């Protein structure tokens, strides 16, 4: 389990951030090497960046912890009474059972949808600005990335076990499955184009088979949110799916829309039982 104190996280994250900035964590271009050598180099690089002690995403965890307790919105209250599914204010283990059905909203929600709901209903916070900053960038922090990193970290070491039992959860699963196989746009791609066979690659990037339950789906879904070294930012599953649809040449999917949650329900079900180790760090 990788839950640490705020201070410790901060110091480590700062050191590593500086190392990344200095290019020390970049293994360099692959160059003209024999294929097995290339594979070894890639593996070495993956190991290097997957060191959890060297993960700047713990900065997000710390900021998220502060944001969770911060009084905001027209009602000037914190999110500490927000029910993430395990009871009002209970953060521990909540992420492991999301997305799920919430009776008060009569909807299935992923963590980000639920946080927006709580900001609106509990805090009276205008979420337009929060949504505008949904993905961080140079000089822009994201409340959502911070909160998700904090909340998800409180499920680290637990197993993915989102329920698919309520009729609305079942509908979400079925829609997510249909969307996974739905081909469209100018490349005729679906999620399944890249993610329905074992051992495939795009260029040198390994592609997890997400069409069947098992290790590939578990390791994938159990490792988000993650710090993306290539983007120098911490990203959530909302961003990962946004990025997939970019590559599929689709228009931008609406943030925190039900279609994205449906896909997340489907993928999380395929990953059921997988260990959550977050925030992780990836290419």
Partner 1 sequence: MQTKFIISALAAVAAQLLLPTEGSAQQPAPVSPQVVEAYVKGTWKSPPEGWQSRIDQDETQKLCSQYRNSPPANIAQNIVAREKATVVFPADGKVLGNWKDGEKVAQTGTGGQFTDPPDAVKGGNCYACHQMAAKELSFGTLGPSLVEYGKIRKYKPEEAKETYAKIFNAQSVQACSNMPRFGYHKFLTEQQMKDVTAYLFDPESPVNKP
b/e per residue 142-162 (b: at least 16 CB within 10 A): bbbbbbbbbbbbbbbebbbbb
Asked whether position 28 contacts partner 1 by CB under 8 A, the answer is: no
Looking at the Cβ atoms of 105 and 204, the one nearer to partner 1 is: 204
Give the SS3 label for residue 240.
helix
**Contact, 155 vs 93, CB < 8 A?**
yes
Annotation marks residue 244 as catalytic: yes
Q: Please work out the total of residues on this chain that contact partner 1, with binding judged by CB under 8 A.
A: 49
Asked whether position 61 contacts partner 1 by CB under 8 A, the answer is: no
Residues in the chain: 283
What Rg do the C-alpha atoms of the chain give, in angstroms?
19
Looking at the Cβ atoms of 150 and 255, the one nearer to partner 1 is: 255
Looking at the Cβ atoms of 55 and 218, the one nearer to partner 1 is: 218
Asked whether position 185 contacts partner 1 by CB under 8 A, the answer is: yes
Looking at the Cβ atoms of 156 and 238, the one nearer to partner 1 is: 238
Asked whether position 128 contacts partner 1 by CB under 8 A, the answer is: no
Token pair in block for residue 106: 């009569």
Q: How far apart are CA 14 and CA 261, in angstroms?
A: 33
Q: How far apart are CA 103 and CA 163, in angstroms?
A: 14
Q: Quick one: which of 17, 38, 78, 86 contacts partner 1 (CB under 8 A)?
A: 38
Q: Least distance in Å: CB of 155 to partner 1?
A: 23
Token pair in block for residue 115: 């946080």
Q: Quick one: which of 194, 221, 237, 281 contacts partner 1 (CB under 8 A)?
A: 194
Beta sheet of 233-235, edge-to-edge order: 233-235, 226-228, 280-282
Token pair in block for residue 280: 């992780």
Asked whether position 24 contacts partner 1 by CB under 8 A, the answer is: no
Q: Build a one-symbol-per-residue string for 142-181: x at contacts with partner 1 by CB under 8 A, - elsewhere.
A: ----------------------x-----xx-xxx-xxx-x
Interface residues with partner 1 (CB under 8 A) are 30, 32-33, 35, 38, 164, 170-171, 173-175, 177-179, 181-190, 192-194, 197, 199-205, 207, 246-247, 249-254, 257-260, 262
């Amino acid at each position: 389990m990788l839950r640490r104190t705020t201070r410790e996280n901060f110091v480590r994250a700062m050191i590593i951030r500086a190392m990344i900035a200095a290019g020390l964590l970049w293994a360099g271009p692959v160059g003209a090497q024999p294929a097995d050598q290339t594979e070894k180099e890639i593996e070495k690089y993956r190991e290097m960046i997957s060191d959890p002690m060297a993960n700047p995403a713990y900065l997000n965890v710390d900021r998220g912890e502060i944001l969770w307790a911060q009084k905001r919105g027209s009602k000037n209250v914190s999110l500490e009474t927000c029910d993430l599914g395990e009871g009002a204010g209970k953060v521990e283990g909540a992420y492991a059972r999301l997305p799920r059905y919430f009776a008060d909203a009569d909807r299935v929600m992923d963590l980000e949808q639920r946080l927006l709901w709580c900001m609106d209903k509990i805090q009276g916070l205008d979420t337009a600005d929060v949504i505008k900053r949904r993905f961080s960038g140079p000089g822009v922090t994201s409340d959502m990335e911070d909160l998700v990193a904090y909340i998800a970290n409180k499920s680290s070491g637990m197993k993915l076990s989102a329920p698919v039992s309520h009729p609305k959860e079942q509908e979400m699963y079925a829609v997510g499955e249909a969307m996974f196989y739905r081909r469209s746009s100018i490349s005729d791609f679906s999620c399944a184009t890249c993610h329905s066979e074992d051992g495939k690659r795009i260029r040198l990037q390994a592609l997890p088979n997400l069409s069947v339950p098992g290790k590939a789906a578990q390791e994938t879904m159990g490792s988000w949110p993650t710090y993306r070294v290539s983007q120098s930012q911490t990203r959530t599953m909302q961003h990962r799916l946004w990025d997939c649809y970019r590559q599929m040449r689709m228009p931008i999917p609406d943030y925190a829309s039900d279609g994205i949650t449906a896909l997340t329900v489907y993928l999380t079900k395929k990953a059921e039982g997988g260990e959550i180790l977050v925030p992780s760090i990836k290419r």
